[in-house]
Amino acid sequence: MSVSAQPEPITNAMTVDVEDYFQVAAFDGCIRREDWSRWPARVEANTRRILELFDESGVHATFFTLGWVAERWPALVRDIAASGHEVASHGFGHERLTALDRGAFRDGVVRTKHLLEDISGTQVSGYRAPSWSIGPTTLWAHQELRDAGYRYSSSIVPIRHDLYGMPAAPRFAFVAGPSGLLEVPATTVRFWGRNWPCGGGGFFRLLPYPLFSRGLKRVNGKERRPTVFYFHPWEIDPGQPRVPGVSLKNRTRHYLNLKHMAPRVRRLLRDFRFDRMDRVFPVGAGAEYPVVALAAAGTGPQ
């Protein structure tokens, strides 16, 4: 009796958005940007904890790093690169693209790319928009990123959400025409005729682990596609300062299950195979992705 061969496990992309707790969109109305330096910084220590966690598991990842963080802790960026991880850009000051014009965006991504490359000694090819803010009104960012020398972006979530989302976008990696830039959306799982988030962050903290892992297994097993997982250094830090004046919704989003995050990530690293974005989604010779021209807000299909 012959035994059918099991399919090779899918390798997924593990990513970290390197920003501090006081820089998140949930606190925009409570913490002024000019007051960031007054809050106790915890991003360096938390990111080093993540480096240790990955080292224990033998996993390499992509660290989408703010230029603001890199300027203040250049040794952290050097250590990320020296540990074999990919250094990528998260923009400079965590401004959502909807709050920037093209010129300001261009200046920020060029400045951050050069800064990260100078510090790390590695080429910076990837970018992730703060708060997943490439959407119907900011699709011009793909061309700006391509012109600035980036090769891929991971900045779109194909869901409906009050802060971000583009449900009409493809669920899997595609070339954003006509820019030629590779876009790798955050992972979603398809149930009951709609996309559900399955990429990490607050959803990973909110949902029971077996339910979340079931979604990843569905994408890996049934669809035979790699997933993109993301989290933040502040999510493994239950002892971070509590910010006053935050709404109940944003307080729940930010603080829910922080104490469970690190153990859950360890479990995830045991249950699935992970690597850097640039190795899971290669760009260049032999890499094939569909070309998709997304419709900007106020336009028809393109």
Average pLDDT over residues 83-104: 97
Angle between helices 209-221 and 258-271 (to 10 degrees): 30
Q: Is residue 299 included in any domain, yes or no?
A: no
Total structural domains within the chain: 1
Cα angle 110, 115, 120; round to 5: 130
Average pLDDT over residues 107-116: 98
DSSP H helices, 102-200, are 102-120, 141-147
What does the pLDDT read at residue 4? 58
Q: Is residue 266 included in any domain, yes or no?
A: yes
Q: Is residue 6 included in any domain, yes or no?
A: no
What does the pLDDT read at residue 1? 46
User: pLDDT band for position 301 (50/70/90)?
Assistant: very low
Q: Is residue 1 included in any domain, yes or no?
A: no
What does the pLDDT read at residue 298? 43
Q: Is residue 302 included in any domain, yes or no?
A: no
pLDDT top residue among 161 and 8 = 8
Express each pLDDT in 181-216 by its tens digit.
Answer: 999 999 999 988 889 889 998 889 999 999 999 999
Domain housing 39:
11-292
Residue 153 β-bridge partners: 127, 183
Average pLDDT over residues 119-147: 97
Residue 261's CATH number:
3.20.20.370
What does the pLDDT read at residue 296? 77
Q: Is residue 4 included in any domain, yes or no?
A: no
What does the pLDDT read at residue 285? 67
Q: What is the distance between the alpha carbons of residues 142 and 134, in angstroms, rounded to a whole number?
A: 8
Average pLDDT over residues 116-124: 98
Q: Is residue 162 included in any domain, yes or no?
A: yes
- The structure's pTM equals 0.95
